[in-house]
Amino acid sequence: MTKTEEEPSTVEKSSSDRLPLIFAGSLFMLICVSMCHITWDVGDPGGNLNVTFDTLRAEGFQKQAQFLQDNVVTPFINSDLYTLSDQLEEKVPKFVPFRGNLGKVTRVVGAVRNEIQTQTGHRTRYIVAEKPHYNRDYYPGDDFYVRGIFNLAEKKRPVIIFLDYDCVPKNIIDLIILHLVKATPGGYLVLATSDKNWTVPPGLGGPIGLSKPLHIPTLPTIKERRKLIEACSSAWHEQPGEEILYVMANRTAALLHREKSVEQEIGTLCKLAFRNGLELHEKTRRRAGGEKKIDGGEISVSLKNWEDALASIVSREQSSADIG
């Protein structure tokens, strides 16, 4: 008889034998997800979705709010129209530079984002660019991180990137600018800031007015302005009362958006108000035939003297702007 050899039967591995493979595969997937996941969406850049350009105007940023509406929000949300007119690169911004205190700039950035959402009726995707938080052994590289940002744009949902030049590593900034140069206007908007004097990267297009950083000053509050008025009038024989101090502190909001410092402008305001009061006293004195030395205690600076002085300062600025 021919002896036949039995072929070994193929026995499937038991489920217990497969557990290490399943565990290893799951661990690999977890590492990949951890390595690739980035939390892009941030609830709100300014901490308050109700902060709008009207809010900024009420806080003394009238000039900045109007500039941002005209040069950033309006062209950005109408990018499709500028595409038809072949003015996309010229009119629609991709990069908006700021300079100033980070807290103040962040609030302004929040207003820009909120206005874009309100005026379009569509949500945006907001990203804070930062140093990637990865384990060095698993970090796929800075370019991977930045490319991830520039793959997020969706139709009717633009990506707004907040970029703090003082905190983000330079290589990340350079990569963001490199990708932004290639990006189509209307899909991405980088709002960048620094507390130092800095220059805007070339080749980003957009309105000419965005070629240098928009200064966002730290403005004194109404209480601080009241103290400034009280201090600059302290040498007068008759100091202004509480009512005048409060009214003028409130109305000096008109001086907040000017090029000169508020402290300097309020100092000028005090001098002009006192001059108005002095001139009025001189006229009254001449009518009465007074010839003796003027008694400083007789000079009273009225609310009208203050208002005339403020109007003089504001009209002077408007005249300079018209000439320019």
pLDDT digits (tens, 9 = 90+) for 178-188: 999 999 899 99
- Residue 34, pLDDT score: 46
Q: Does residue 260 share a domain with residue 176?
A: no
- Residue 44, pLDDT score: 42
Is residue 84 situated within a structural domain?
A: yes
The C-alpha atoms of residue 22 and residue 32 are separated, in whole angstroms, by 15
Q: Does residue 70 share a domain with residue 202?
A: yes
Q: Does residue 235 share a domain with residue 172?
A: no
Q: What is the pLDDT of residues 231-270, one digit of tens each?
A: 999 988 888 889 889 999 988 887 876 667 788 899 999 9
Q: What is the pLDDT of residues 72-99, one digit of tens each?
A: 999 999 999 999 999 999 999 999 999 9
Query: The CATH number of the domain where 178 resides is what?
Result: 3.40.50
Domain boundary residue among 164, 190, 216? 216
Q: Give 264: exposed, middle or buried? Use CB within 10 Å, 0-12, 13-18, 19+.
A: exposed
Domain that holds residue 260: 222-288+297-319
The C-alpha atoms of residue 64 and residue 81 are separated, in whole angstroms, by 25
Q: Does residue 170 share a domain with residue 79?
A: yes
Q: Does residue 185 share a domain with residue 78?
A: yes
Is residue 114 situated within a structural domain?
A: yes
Q: What is the pLDDT of residues 40-72, one digit of tens each?
A: 443 344 456 789 999 998 887 888 999 999 999
Q: Does residue 212 share a domain with residue 68?
A: yes
The residue-averaged pLDDT of 292-300 equals 71
Q: What is the pLDDT of residues 199-221, one digit of tens each?
A: 899 889 889 889 999 999 887 88
Domain boundary residue among 158, 185, 216? 216
List beta partners, residue 161.
127, 190
Q: Mean pLDDT highest for which of 5-14, 110-119, 312-321? A: 110-119
- Residue 59, pLDDT score: 81
- Residue 41, pLDDT score: 41
pLDDT at residue 313 is higher than 70: yes
Is residue 36 situated within a structural domain?
A: no
The 10 Å Cβ neighbour count of residue 135 is: 9
- Residue 217, pLDDT score: 83
pLDDT at residue 13 is higher than 90: no
Q: Does residue 180 share a domain with residue 84?
A: yes
Is residue 154 situated within a structural domain?
A: yes
Angstrom distances, CA of residue 205 to CA of 25, 60, 90, 155, 318:
47, 29, 6, 22, 30
- The runs of H, that is alpha helices, within the chain are 15-36, 53-58, 62-68, 74-77, 79-84, 88-91, 102-120, 142-149, 170-182, 222-232, 242-251, 262-287, 303-323
Q: Give ∠ CA 42-46-47 in degrees, rounded to 5.
A: 75
Is residue 199 situated within a structural domain?
A: yes
The 10 Å Cβ neighbour count of residue 257 is: 19
Is residue 184 situated within a structural domain?
A: yes
Q: Does residue 208 share a domain with residue 255?
A: no
Q: Does residue 302 share a domain with residue 183?
A: no
Q: 């207003």: which residue's tokens?
A: 111
Q: Does residue 226 share a domain with residue 174?
A: no
pLDDT at residue 132 is higher than 90: no
CA atoms within 13 A on the CB side of 147: 6
The C-alpha atoms of residue 137 and residue 171 are separated, in whole angstroms, by 19
- Residue 33, pLDDT score: 44
Q: Which of 52, 46, 44, 85 is nearest to 68 (CA)?
A: 52
Measured in Å, how far apart are the chain's first and last C-alpha atoms?
A: 117
Q: Report residue 223 as tokens.
A: 């209480």
Residues of the chain by 3-state class (helix, strand, coil), percent to 5 = 55, 10, 40
Is residue 37 situated within a structural domain?
A: no
Q: Does residue 71 share a domain with residue 207?
A: yes
- Residue 14, pLDDT score: 53
Number of domains in the chain: 2
pLDDT at residue 137 is higher than 70: no
Q: Does residue 199 share a domain with residue 63?
A: yes
Is residue 66 situated within a structural domain?
A: yes
pLDDT at residue 310 is higher than 50: yes
Domain boundary residue among 173, 194, 216? 216
Report the mean per-residue pLDDT for the chain: 81
- Residue 309, pLDDT score: 92
